[in-house]
Amino acid sequence: MQHRGFLLLALLTLLALTTAVAKKKDKVKKGGPGSECAEWTWGPCTPSSKDCGVGFREGTCGAQTQRVRCRVPCNWKKEFGADCKYKFESWGACDGGTGTKARQGTLKKARYNAQCQETIRVTKPCTPKTKAKAKGQGGGGRC
């Protein structure tokens, strides 16, 4: 009976050890924090189809190359890219001459070693004056 208990304990220990070794090998392969290479250089996220959605980003470190999944939001069609994160001021007043309004952003975070400008200026068309919503006026009630 003691032999069975000992064999069962030895088997469980061996199983736990092989699982731990397999997990460690996976971490080294992925080039994550446990990787030998410390200076990864990452390219931009390139969508698999069209100009947004799921895609891949390639990274290199010495002779190692990696591809990781990434995603470009479909409403992110800015010239400064999805890897440069900015803190923006409020929108300025509408410029009657150009029909646009502008605001400035200061770099908050550059992901994947992206080359980002420290400050940027973005513009958008001014919204036309909308008519006040006719709340509770005629025809919209229940029959």
Q: How far apart are CA 51 and CA 49, in angstroms?
A: 7
| Rounded Cα distance, 134 and 62, in Å | 65
What CATH class has 37-72?
A: mainly beta
* More reliable by pLDDT, 9 or 105: 105
pLDDT at position 105 is 93
Q: Which pLDDT value is given to residue 33?
A: 44
Return the pLDDT at 97.
93
- Residue 17 confidence (pLDDT) above 60: no
Structure-token pair, residue 94? 């509408």
Domain boundaries, the chain: 37-72, 75-128
Provide the pLDDT confidence category of residue 29 given band limits of 50, 70 and 90: very low
How many Å apart are CA 123 and CA 119, to the nearest integer?
14
Where are the alpha helices (H) located in the chain, listed in sequence order? 2-30
Digit-coded pLDDT (tens) for 80-123: 677 888 999 999 999 999 999 999 999 999 888 788 889 999 89
- Contact 59/32 with Cβ under 8 angstroms? no
